[in-house]
């Protein structure tokens, strides 16, 4: 790949989508967005996570696997708004909450691990660090109907899952953590990416 493959991770409401669009434009690479409007499970999941949690996680796993492979095979780099790897954060959180059964969680893990074995790792995971309180504030400001009932406690559990995810993932791929309590300029982020990946000419 002549251009980097960068995944952007972070809590719901962290600001991933906005930054992803700006980075894709600045680095002149394709943008692979997280499915929101086209996700038929999303509103159902927030209304009844016990019933739809497993189905939504499998849907997202399938969608991101396809996007990940398309990104790799196009050989032109890209920005992915949330990677396939961090979907496990959400599945693990549902399991911890008792909203995904042991059997469903084991099935999900087996499916995810089989998929991961076919994937080319990103060159970089760019993680946006925000507090659960800040994330909830931003969720409320953007006003998506399906997200209006997200509780702070859920975001705190996700934050715990992300810490575990990053500690494990950084053993395999570069991870750049950015303090995103206050938004930074895209030029500054691009500079940090270039330094991290040694892409002075990009």
Q: Which amino acids are annotated catalytic?
A: 81
Q: How far is CA 162 from CA 22, 76, 183, 187, 201, in A?
A: 23, 28, 20, 26, 32
Residue 15 structure tokens: 């600001």
The DSSP letter of residue 145 is: G
Nearest to 13 by CA among 94, 93, 132: 132
CA distance 58 to 114: 13
| Helical ranges in the chain per DSSP H | 16-27, 42-47, 49-74, 87-96, 102-116, 132-142, 152-169, 186-197
CA atoms within 13 A on the CB side of 47: 7
Q: How far is CA 161 from CA 60, 129, 157, in A?
A: 17, 13, 6
- Which run of H or of E encompasses 178? strand 174-179
């Amino acid at each position: 790949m002549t251009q980097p493959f960068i995944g952007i991770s972070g809590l719901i409401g962290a600001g991933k989508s906005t930054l992803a669009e700006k980075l894709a434009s600045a680095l002149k690479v394709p943008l692979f967005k997280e499915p929101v409007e086209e996700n038929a499970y999303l509103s159902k999941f927030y209304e009844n996570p016990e019933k739809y949690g497993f189905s939504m996680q499998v849907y997202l796993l399938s969608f991101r696997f396809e996007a990940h492979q398309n990104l790799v095979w196009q050989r032109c780099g890209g920005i992915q708004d949330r990677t396939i790897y961090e979907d496990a954060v959400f599945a693990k959180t549902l399991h911890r909450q008792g909203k995904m059964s042991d059997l469903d969680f084991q099935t999900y893990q087996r499916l995810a691990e089989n998929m991961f074995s076919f994937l080319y790792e990103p060159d970089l995971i760019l993680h946006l660090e925000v507090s659960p309180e800040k994330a909830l504030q931003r969720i409320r400001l953007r006003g998506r109907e399906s997200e209006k009932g997200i509780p702070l406690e859920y975001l705190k559990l996700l934050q715990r899952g992300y810490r575990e995810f990053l500690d494990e993932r950084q053993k395999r791929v570069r991870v750049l953590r950015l303090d995103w309590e206050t938004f930074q300029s895209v030029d500054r982020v691009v500079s940090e990416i270039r330094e991290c990946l040694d892409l002075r000419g990009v």
